[in-house]
Structure 1
Amino acid sequence: MITIDEHRARILASVSRSTATERSVHRSAGFVLADDVVSRWPVPLFDNSAMDGYAVRRADAVEGAILRVVADVPAGCADDPSFGPGEAVRIMTGAPVPADADAIVPLEHTDLGTEVRATPPESITVTVAPKPHAHIRRAGEDAAAGSVAVRAGTVLGPWQLSAIASAGHDRIPVVARPRVAVISTGSELVEPSDTPQRGQIPESNSVLLAAAIVDAGAEVGWTATVRDDEEALVATLADADVDAIVLTGGASVGSFDVVKAVLNGTGSIEFTTVAMQPGKPQGFGLTEAGVPVFCLPGNPVSVAVSFEMFVRPALRTMAGHPTIDRPRSVRRAATGWRSRADRVQVLPVTVDEHTVRPAAPGGSGSHLVTSLAEATALAVVPAEVIEVFEGDPVTVMELR
């Protein structure tokens, strides 16, 4: 057997970041920025008012001063009205500050207060003298023209996309999300809505993987369920046309393990055993066309664990994410459980602020799929530990 780290290292050495593609800022949430985005203009574009109020000459706007209002500048107005000593201009938030002004007196610092008026008043009385440059946003104080607004490698959320739009861009280069095909193999598999006959089970792996792929920052190209038939699997693989393929089942040493029979030795694909529980049988490699192929066990918990340990980091690398691993922390075991001495145990668990406990009361079996619904983390127990005792420190990978 090889270690988890050895199998992971081979995978990560074989995959690379996807090519860049151009997308609208309205459709780029969650993508990774491929190149720096620089500001086309200074931000703000021009000196503008940070408050609804009156543009003034500060020397005139002493407490108690009566100023005649001679003009009105709403937001979006291009006017630059001039005004002289003893005068003021009504101004709205975001409107360009008149060249003659060096401060803004907010509405609430006048005798008229915040009373809503359709037209400007004839005059105002200043009740609080403004400080120098009060409430004026200076052109370029947030970002100069040509400066980097958002750096390459940034995962684009609402705030980053807003900054890009403010910098004057509506289309941006992002890392293309890899399209992934999911193939579940097994003659025992039936649709979840069917009534299983003896020997049959509902097919859930494709559902699990499709959701996990999207959560990892990739896209599902298509899914398929294939019986234990080599010709059927070859035909399904022939039309892949995706950036990666994930197969479940048929990766071990059974007589009907068709995935191994069809793919072993194709391109650089090879099958191995990894010192982990669950998820011991694994396969990985590139097709002759360079497409990464992940061959996972068939039991649902093994699929979930294998995806987290191997597939997710690879897909996030391909999608350009700067962070490819789940955060890890240490909790104290709320109860004891057994582990194998020769393999790293990767166990679905539930955690609270201080403790961790197995998600399934029945143990760590790879078939205990219902426990996945309760799990919020994976406990990673070293191979040399054969039993976890209550109170022991346990490393966990946080899933939520």
Structure 2
Amino acid sequence: MTTLSWERARDLAAALACVPAPADLPLSEAYGCRLAEPLRALVPVPGTDVSAMDGYAVCGPPPWRVTGRVLAGGVPGQGLSGGEAVEIATGAPVPEGTWSVLPYEVADAADGWVKGVAARGRHVRFRGEDVPAGAEVLGAGSVVTPAVLGLAAALGHDRLRVLAKPAVSVLVTGDEVVFDGLPAPGRVRDAIGPMLPGLVAWAGGRVSGSARLPDGAGALRDALAQVEADVVVVCGASSKGPADHLRAVLGDAEVLIDGVAVRPGHPQILARLAGGALLVGLPGNPFAALGAAVTLLVPILGGPRRGEMSALAGAVSAHPRDTRLVPVRRGENGAVPMGHDRPGSLWGAALAEALAVVPPGWEGGQVELIELP
């Protein structure tokens, strides 16, 4: 299979972008999704007439005899008659017959009596005043933000009908990879596994599972057979070395991309598995994996494809045949290269705001900037 240009590979990945499917998710899993249907109030807010202030619920003109107390979550007790009051907390249900609530700040209370100026209806939040029962508060397509989650809960929802984010399963391979502590000589810490969940979430997906695999075709084949996800990301087995077994276990999969003319990240793979899921193979070097993920994984998940154009405010050498992805930060005179951009190091990417796309043979002029999360 012919190695694709970076532009062609990214366009092909975008053409295969996952289409979010409607799903009923608990509130704890719905953040960042879009509503698949309008959000309606299952209950009125407030659910009953409640006090908007700490003070006294009063009935009739002053003075008022204080007959009891009502706290938030309590019951209002008997209704009030003219000349009666109850001490009341913010959010507590007002007794039947309440004219208004007199705040502590303006109340003159002594010996079981209270007086003051209280306009009728003042400082009472009436049932359904904020949101009537059945009201449509947000339309389909709205993004589920933290405020939306709080609103949905207040309106009586435990679950939301949303367009679920594509599920991504991550398989990290390599006998040399360790996942905690200090690596011994000849070993390396896994840098790709910790990087992917944030990248996936930013691009519009969610990591639904992950596994750590030793080198070997058998372990990888077994893991792929058990994965249930929209997209499978295999880290560290996409090259053609003796420990890279991804191609050997693809079997009936349709290989769509086998290598992209980009540096870093040349040995990347895109395939469609027999069950329909897409597989993205990333190189084992961390910055190369990031470059490959930006090329294939991000567009598949519906993430941003096209960036702004900018001049480069620093020396950058173009590759004669491959696109280069260069970590940069925006400056007054253009994008400033961060350096530290070898395939095995994320230092430059950690300093950067974007990746500058430097075409093959580039001799100056503006380049595209791909935003980094």
Please indicate the TM-score interval, normalised by the length of the shorter structure.
0.7 to 0.9
Give the structure-1-normalised TM-score: 0.73
Instruction: Report the counterpart of residue 123 of structure 1 in structure 2.
Output: 113
Counterpart of 1:191, as a letter, is V
TM-score (normalizing by structure 2): 0.77
* Structure 2 unaligned spans of 5+: none
2:233, 2:282 within 8 Å by CA — same for their partners in 1?
Answer: yes
| 1:116 aligned residue | none
Alignment correspondent of 2:268: 282
**Which one-letter code corresponds to 1:259 in the other structure?**
L
Matched, 1:248 2:246: no
Find the counterpart in structure 2 of residue 306 from structure 1: 292
Shift of 1:289: 0.6
1:209 equivalent in structure 2: 196
Check conservation: 2:51, 2:94, Cα contact below 8 A.
yes
In structure 2, what is the Cα distance between the partners aligned to 1:158 and 1:80?
39
Q: Which amino acid aligns with 1:368?
A: S
Aligned residues: 364
The whole-number CA distance in structure 2 between the counterparts of 1:45 and 1:293 is 49
1:128-180 deviations in Å (ceiling 9; x for gaps): x4455321212212211112355555554543222222112334445376140
- Is the contact between residue 103 and residue 134 of structure 1 (CA under 8 Å) also seen in structure 2? yes
Question: Which of these residues, 166, 178, 181, is aligned with residue 191 of structure 1?
Answer: 178
Q: Give the match for residue 348 of structure 1.
A: 327
> Do 2:4 and 2:257's aligned partners in 1 also have CA atoms closer than 8 Å?
no
Alignment correspondent of 2:81 = 83
| 1:371 maps to 2:348 | yes
CA distance in 1, matches of 2:297, 2:221: 22
Report the residue type matching 1:366 in the other structure.
P
8 Å CA contact retained: 2:236, 2:284: yes
2:29 is aligned with what amino acid?
S
CA distance in 1, matches of 2:200, 2:306: 18
Distance in 2, Cα, partners of 1:35 & 1:369? 41
Show the counterpart of 1:96.
Answer: 93
Alpha-carbon RMSD across the aligned residues, in angstroms, is 4.0
CA distance in 2, matches of 1:273, 1:243: 22
Aligned pairs (5 A) from 1:260-275: 260-263=247-250, 266-275=252-261
Q: Which amino acid aligns with 1:16?
A: V
Q: 2:336 is aligned with what amino acid?
A: R
Q: Which residue of 2 aligns with 1:115?
A: none
8 Å contact 2:41–2:156 — kept in the other structure?
yes
TM-aligned CA deviation for residue 311 of structure 1: 1.4
Q: Distance in 2 between matches of 1:360 and 1:4?
A: 21
Displacement of 1:367 after TM fit? 3.0
> Once the two structures are aligned, what percentage of the paired residues are identical?
27
Q: Point out the more displaced range, 131-140 or 144-153.
A: 144-153
* Conserved 8 A contact 2:169-2:210: yes
- The aligned amino acid for 2:275 is A
Q: What residue is the counterpart of 2:167 in the other structure?
A: 178
Q: Any conservation in 2 of the 1:347–1:379 contact (CA below 8 Å)? A: yes
